[in-house]
């Protein structure tokens, strides 16, 4: 199982809308909903959206914003029981896209002189990243944001030098004992600290969710406010992202309108819409819409959220272990697409939803959401094809 990730060529086998809102009947045919006069979607894009459902997903939505206007294409259903469509302004769990929001706040704190990128995390969080060879004195804030810290994943993913993560160390959020449990960030970090480091700090990059739980704790310590409060004050409210939020403690649902999210467990499709995502926290608990996610990434890359110096730091990349040819910056992924466009974004997978995001240099922003994680390489590739056609102008 591989969840709370950015884009990956490794398949997960376990996991205000802008303009007019549309109504459509549930069907397996792509529907396009323009908010303003826009070019019609290409036949190839329409076919690709339909192919996602044919590959085994309940439903899919592609939200496209930019020079061509605002478009929403959907196929399949948002709810298998009722047959309701995937609403144009559907709110969904955006998984690891949360990491880009967290990084943006920290880089704002860097610009304000409150955090130093290359300072050891021990300076801000004494004795938090300590144990079994993990040492916060040797791990910088930058390394946490870029997944080069070497600290282990509290979910138990990945390998340590010399072997696999400790037996029984995996935290499985699809298990009932975890699905309904309330976690504090410190609980998750302490769990990670029971395992040895994956590698020496700075030796390589390996995507690890613990990094962002620690970064959420850093925000709390430096500002005196939770990551949710700072993300709301610094990003959500200034950009008017009215459908974007961080679930409150104990909030297990998703605000309406929302599709149902499904997850394959032992070959059976389980409704995973209602769940406590405190285990994901600052690494992946946020909820948003495709239009809001596009607006956030457009604003970020336009320099509306960060000074030029901090945005440049965000775009300094290292090879991304989850996708050949891609680079991971500070909570931001530079990813290749067939048409050769310069594309930055992130992506997120969490039981019930997969959300792929990106903004091209020409201003085209795309968010593709499926209400189930892919269960095969063919399914993964089907969603990726939608993203690539859409971002390339299809």
**260 DSSP β-pair partners:** none
What tokens does 390 get?
A: 């859409």
Separation of alpha carbons 292 and 89, rounded Å:
9
Question: What does the pLDDT read at residue 30?
Answer: 55
| Contact between 62 and 49 (Cβ < 8 Å) | yes
What are the start-end ranges of the H helices in 232-321? 237-239, 290-301, 308-314
* CA 14, chain centre distance (Å): 17
Question: What does the pLDDT read at residue 244?
Answer: 98
Phi–psi pair at 257, nearest 5 degrees: -80, 145
> 3-state DSSP call for residue 327?
strand
Looking at residue 372, what DSSP letter applies? Answer: B
Question: What does the pLDDT read at residue 38?
Answer: 54
- Could you tell me the CA-to-CA distances from 194 to 110, 151, 166, 282 in Å, in that order? 30, 11, 9, 20
Question: What does the pLDDT read at residue 156?
Answer: 84
Question: What does the pLDDT read at residue 6?
Answer: 53
End-to-end CA distance of the chain: 32
Active site residues: 96
Beta strands in the chain (DSSP E): 27-32, 59-66, 69-76, 92-93, 130-131, 134-135, 159-160, 163-164, 262-265, 268-271, 287-288, 318-319, 327-328, 333-335, 343-345, 348-350, 353-360, 365-370
Q: Is the pTM higher than 0.85?
A: yes
Say which CATH architecture domain 99-228 belongs to.
3-Layer(aba) Sandwich (3.40)
Angle, CA of 238, 242 and 246, to the nearest 5°:
90
Separation of alpha carbons 149 and 151, rounded Å:
6
For the chain, where do the domains classified as CATH 3.40.710.10 start and end? 27-94+247-391, 99-228
CATH homologous superfamily of domain 27-94+247-391?
DD-peptidase/beta-lactamase superfamily (3.40.710.10)
Q: Is the dihedral of CA 392, 65, 377, 86 positive or negative?
A: negative
Nearest to 250 by CA among 303, 173, 180, 202: 180
- Could you tell me the CA-to-CA distances from 354 to 207, 220, 227, 334 in Å, in that order? 17, 28, 22, 18
pLDDT in tens, the chain (394 residues): 345 655 444 443 333 222 221 122 233 445 444 444 456 678 999 999 999 999 999 999 999 999 989 999 999 999 999 999 999 999 999 999 999 999 999 999 999 999 999 999 999 999 999 999 999 999 999 999 999 999 999 998 654 443 333 444 578 999 988 899 999 999 999 999 999 999 999 999 999 999 999 999 999 999 999 999 999 999 999 999 999 999 999 999 999 999 999 999 999 999 999 999 999 999 999 999 999 999 999 999 999 999 999 999 999 999 998 888 999 999 999 999 999 999 999 999 999 999 999 999 999 999 999 999 999 999 999 999 999 999 998 7
Cis link prior to 257 (omega < 30° from 0)? yes
Question: What does the pLDDT read at residue 2?
Answer: 42
Question: What does the pLDDT read at residue 323?
Answer: 87
């Amino acid at each position: 199982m591989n969840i709370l990730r950015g884009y990956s060529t490794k398949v997960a086998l376990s996991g205000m809308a802008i303009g007019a809102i549309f109504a459509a009947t549930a069907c397996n045919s792509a529907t396009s909903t323009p908010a303003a006069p826009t070019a019609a979607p290409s036949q190839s894009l329409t076919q690709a959206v339909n192919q996602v459902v044919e590959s085994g997903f309940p439903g899919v939505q592609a939200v496209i914003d930019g020079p061509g206007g605002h478009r929403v294409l959907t196929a399949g259903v948002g709810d298998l029981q009722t047959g309701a469509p995937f609403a144009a302004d559907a709110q969904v769990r955006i998984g690891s896209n949360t990491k880009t929001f967290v990084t943006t706040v920290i880089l704002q704190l860097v610009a304000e002189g409150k955090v130093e990128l290359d300072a050891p995390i021990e300076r801000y969080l004494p004795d938090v990243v300590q144990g079994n060879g993990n040492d916060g004195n040797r791990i910088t804030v930058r390394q946490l944001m870029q997944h080069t810290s070497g600290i282990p994943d509290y979910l138990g993913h990945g390998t340590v030098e010399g072997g696999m993560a400790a037996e029984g160390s995996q935290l499985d959020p699809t298990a009932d004992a975890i699905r309904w449990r309330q976690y504090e960030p410190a609980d998750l970090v302490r769990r990670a600290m029971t395992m040895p480091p994956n590698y020496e700090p700075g030796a390589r990059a390996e995507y690890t969710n613990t990094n962002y739980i620690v970064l959420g704790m850093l925000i709390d310590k430096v500002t005196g406010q939770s990551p949710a409060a700072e993300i709301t004050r610094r990003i959500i409210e200034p950009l008017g992202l009215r459908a974007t939020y961080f679930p409150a403690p104990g909030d297990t649902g998703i605000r309406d309108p929302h599709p149902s999210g499904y997850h394959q467990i032992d070959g059976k499709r389980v409704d995973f819409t209602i769940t406590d995502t405190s285990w994901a926290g600052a690494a992946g608990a946020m909820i948003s819409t495709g239009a809001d996610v596009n607006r956030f990434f457009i604003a970020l890359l336009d320099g509306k959220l960060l000074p030029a110096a901090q945005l440049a730091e965000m775009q300094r990349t290292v090879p991304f272990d989850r996708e050949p040819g891609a680079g991971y910056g500070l909570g931001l992924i530079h990813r290749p697409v067939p048409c050769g466009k310069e594309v930055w974004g992130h992506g997120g997978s969490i039981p019930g939803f997969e959300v792929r995001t990106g903004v091209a240099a020409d201003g085209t922003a795309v968010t593709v959401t499926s209400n189930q994680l892919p269960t095969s390489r063919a399914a993964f590739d089907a969603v990726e094809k939608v993203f690539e056609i859409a971002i390339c102008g299809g």
